Amino acid sequence: MSKKKTTTKKNKTDEGGVLPKVELIAIFIFFLSFIIWAMSKCSSTQAQYEQEATANPKQETTTPTPTKIIETPSTKTTETPSTAVKEKLQAPVKAPPEKVTILYVVLDGLKLRKGPHLDSTIVRTLKVDSEVYFLNEVTNFKQEINLGDRLAIEPWVKVRAYSGHEGWVYGAGINYFKAKVITDTISN
């Protein structure tokens, strides 16, 4: 009897042949091109944001709060215009109104102080429901103060009173909304 040699043919895919390598290379090229595309989009968006920031340096992003627009009078300067400017007199450009956040005093007799601590000099005493203007400064520390009916742990906030006095008030004494006095009436 003659023995036949049986040899098994090996598939190229069994040995990790050509097909899986091509697939891996194609996937790698796809992800690499995606990463390059995403980075170019991010850098162009960043450049656009930087351009907008340099065009509007005072513009800030804030959380929506109740605001009122208060116009401040613009100061006039006395300069002698050149002859070219005299020929083309233009109307003065009015500065845009400054947006101010209004806060309301919720504690009667709230003290407006020169500094953000209890030892600071008192500038003025504020009445309940009076308006103050937030000056975009808050202490990075909180202080614990006994308010009589409760213990509050709040930061100090810099404000300007309606009278024009500027100073610091304790955060528990102001709010974005006027305090409503709720009186219960008992009907028989």
pLDDT tens sequence across 26-85: 999 999 999 998 888 888 888 888 877 777 655 544 444 444 445 445 444 445 555 554
Residue 141 predicted with pLDDT over 50: yes
Distance (Å, rounded) from C-alpha 146 to C-alpha 29? 65
The pLDDT of residue 85: 47
How does DSSP classify residue 88? T
Q: 10 Å Cβ neighbour count for 157?
A: 22
Q: Record the pTM.
A: 0.45
The pLDDT of residue 50: 81
Q: State percent of the chain over pLDDT 70.
A: 62
When pLDDT is averaged across residues 113-124 and rounded to a whole number, the result is 92
DSSP three-state, residue 19: helix
Q: 10 Å Cβ neighbour count for 48?
A: 10
Question: Hey, what are 154's tokens?
Answer: 């709040």
Cβ atoms of 166 and 135 within 8 Å: the answer is yes
The pLDDT of residue 65: 46
How does DSSP classify residue 22? H
Structurally, at CATH architecture level, domain 97-175 sits in: Roll (2.30)
Least confident of 63-72, 96-105, 152-161: 63-72
Q: Where are the domains of the chain?
A: 16-59, 97-175
CA nearest 127: which of 84, 187, 174? 174
When pLDDT is averaged across residues 100-116 and rounded to a whole number, the result is 90
Average pLDDT, the chain: 75
Residue 12 predicted with pLDDT over 90: no
When pLDDT is averaged across residues 142-160 and rounded to a whole number, the result is 89
DSSP three-state, residue 138: strand
**DSSP string covering 23-75, please?**
HHHHHHHHHHHHHHHHHHHHHHHHHHHHHHHHH-TT--------EEEEPPPPP
The pLDDT of residue 76: 47
When pLDDT is averaged across residues 137-165 and rounded to a whole number, the result is 89
Residue 177's H or E segment, with its range, is: none
